[in-house]
Amino acid sequence: MFNRFTKDARVIVRDAVEIAHELGATSVEAEHLLFAAARQRDPVAETLRWHGLDEDGLRHALDLERERSLAAVGISAARPAFAPHVSKPDFAHSSKAALEGALRAAAERKDTRIGTGHVVLGVLRARRGTVPRALGLVDIDQEELATAISAVT
């Protein structure tokens, strides 16, 4: 799957695993790919930042999403603190779907290589789930963001 990925896109995938691990997640989710993309120094990261999605902005959006989702069933809970997991997190469905989405985004644009922009476009293809909800809660228009990312990809 990764043979068509550029070096930078591979870095994002690798960083997403690290970020998921640092955050104490047991699996790599689509939002971890976004964190990894926001951490780079390229026009894609610049575009994310311009939309307020630097690492802090992304964390804030995800915190809001978590808070609101738990509140929907009457629960309010701090994030429990614990010693980090030792084993590397696995790729969850959301991140696998995002990487498949990256391939589709590239195919639609007739691009042969998969770059960081395609990975972000893959994440932004999701219509439901944690990332779309988090972006919606901080008033980010997902379609508009995808168009902006596409323009620098």
CA distances from 75 to 16, 61, 70, 79, 138 (A): 29, 18, 5, 12, 21
Which parts of 82-101 interact with another protein (CB under 8 A)? 82-87
Residue 24, interface with another protein (CB under 8 A)? yes
**What is d(CA 145, CA 124) in angstroms, rounded to the nearest whole number?**
8
Which parts of 109-128 interact with another protein (CB under 8 A)? 128
Residue choice 3, 7, 41, 72 for contact with another protein (CB under 8 A): 72
DSSP annotation string for 67-100: HHHHHTTT---PPPP-PPPSSPPEEPHHHHHHHH
The label of the residue with tokens 């894609």 reads 44
126 contacts 99 by C-beta, under 8 angstroms: no
Q: How far is the CB of 73 from another protein (least distance, A)?
A: 4
Residue 26, interface with another protein (CB under 8 A)? yes
Select 86 or 143, whichever has its Cβ closest to another protein: 86
Which parts of 29-68 interact with another protein (CB under 8 A)? 65-66, 68
Select 25 or 97, whichever has its Cβ closest to another protein: 25
CA distances from 105 to 22, 88, 119 (A): 29, 28, 9
Residue 76, interface with another protein (CB under 8 A)? no
Q: Which residues bind another protein (CB under 8 A)?
A: 24-26, 65-66, 68-70, 72-75, 77, 79-87, 128-130, 133
